[in-house]
Structure 1
C-alpha cells in the first residue's frame, strides 16, 4: 500500500493522476473506494501496479482532505506506522 497526493482528476472523463515517490500513477474512477472522488492535493492510499501503458493505482482511498496537513517527511515515508496513522486520521475525520 502506497501513499500519494492527487495531482488532478477529471470527473467527466473519469480518470486522474496520483504523485507518489516522484512517480505518477494513473487511476480510473472504478478504482476509487471513497464515497466521493478525491480532489487535487488530497492524500490517498493505493496499491501500485505496472501495466503495458505505465504505472497505475488500484484501490484508491481518501486518507486526508489536504496533504498540506501532514509534514513533508511523513508524506514521503511509507512505513506501516505512517499508514496506520493515516488510517486513524481518516477514521477520525469520517465520524
Structure 2
C-alpha cells in the first residue's frame, strides 16, 4: 500500500483518488498530529466487507469447507448435460 502525507493528498487529490479507484489499490494517508487513514474505492470497500462477513460466519465457512472436500474427493453433485447447457448458455 502506498503512503502519502495529508499535504500531498490534498495537493494531488484528484489524481490520487483516480489512481485508487481505477487501480483498486488503497492509499494510506498520514497526518502529523493524528491517526493515519486509508482511502479506497467504494467497490473495494464493499468487497472487503463481504469477505469479512463470510470469514466471520462459521456456518458459511463450514459450507465452503464441505464444498472443497467434496470437490477434492470428486464426490460432489455433477450436473447433467442439459443443466450444464442451461448454465453456460448465454
TM range (shorter): under 0.3
Q: Is the helix fraction higher in 1 or 2?
A: 2
Which protein is bigger by CA-based radius of gyration? 2
- Give me the TM-score of the superposition, normalised by structure 2: 0.24
- Give me the TM-score of the superposition, normalised by structure 1: 0.23
The answer to which structure, 1 or 2, has the higher relative contact order (CA under 8 A, 6+ apart) is: 1
